[in-house]
Amino acid sequence: MNTVVTHIDDRGIATVTMNNPDKHNAFDDTIIAELTAAFNQVASDDKVRIVILASEGKSFSAGADLNWMKRMASYTHAENLRDSHALAEMLRVLNFMPKPTIARVQGAAFGGAVGLVSCCDMAVASPRASFCLSEVKIGLMPATISPYVVAAIGQRASRRYFTTAERFSAETAQQLGLVSEVVEAEEMDSTIEQLITQLLANSPAAVTAAKQLVFDVADRVIDTQLIEDTCTRIADIRVSKEGQEGLGAFLEKRQPTWIPS
């Protein structure tokens, strides 16, 4: 049985599902490799417009698999470094996915799973979802996921939850910015569908460019170089194929060609 399953519908919505509910979708080297392959596949597929990250069972992901941790306990430094690089690559591919990403968090998300949620552009959670950066409890730290978690919830909250390893609720996760919406379990799919409808109304090329824009301007000094860069970007996209189509559709009061009929 594959621990990761990918389904792409006729609208170009790719759902990547962690499929190991008996182990609460806990990470090991196999699921990390399968997730990386799935993320690379949908990232390079021109038919895919939106990516949803979901999981089967009552937990989103319980973090590291116990048997994997037992194996890692006897790893050399070089073997640990190799494993860390594999996890880092999975997170990198998801974080910089050129399409919008939505995490569907129905239950517990611990350890590295918080990293997965942080790498998605949006996250919809049920009230029974909970989160924990539990690494320090066992003498470790959330190192590989840290750039993405700090970007999602900020330094102040990271300093607390990295060091206390306390469990926090979906409501707290929403207050921190980790989760976009908290809705009852039976409303999760309809809420995600509303986000999909919003996203499909937008130019695919502009969505990709807008997402990259966030990465490129975040935390930069607003100087002449940044101003020139942003001016160039808007000029470039105005004369692009989809930029011209979008402006034309707006002025002619018609639907642009990228909106599904």
What is the predicted pLDDT for the residue at 147?
A: 97
Instruction: Dig out the tokens for 235 from the structure.
Output: 């000029």
52 bridge partner residues: 15, 102
* Cβ–Cβ < 8 Å for 147, 114: no
CA distance linking residue 216 with residue 142, whole number of Å: 25
Instruction: Dig out the tokens for 53 from the structure.
Output: 């990250």
CB < 8 Å & 24+ apart, contacts of 87-93: 87/27, 87/32, 87/112, 87/144, 87/145, 88/144, 89/36, 90/32, 90/35, 90/36, 90/39, 91/115, 91/116, 91/119, 91/144, 91/145, 91/148, 93/36, 93/39, 93/40, 93/43
Q: pLDDT of the chain along its 261 residues, tens only?
A: 789 999 999 999 999 999 999 999 999 899 999 999 999 999 999 999 999 999 999 999 998 888 888 887 788 999 888 889 999 999 999 999 999 999 999 999 999 999 999 999 999 999 999 999 999 999 999 999 999 999 999 999 999 999 999 999 999 999 999 999 999 999 999 999 999 999 999 999 999 999 999 999 999 999 999 999 999 999 999 999 999 999 999 999 999 999 977
Instruction: Dig out the tokens for 33 from the structure.
Output: 């490799």
- For β-strands 130-132 and 167-169, DSSP reports them as antiparallel
Angle between helices 224-238 and 241-251 (to 10 degrees): 70
What is the predicted pLDDT for the residue at 66?
A: 80
* Cβ–Cβ < 8 Å for 204, 100: no
Cα torsion angle, 239, 246, 51, 165, sign: positive
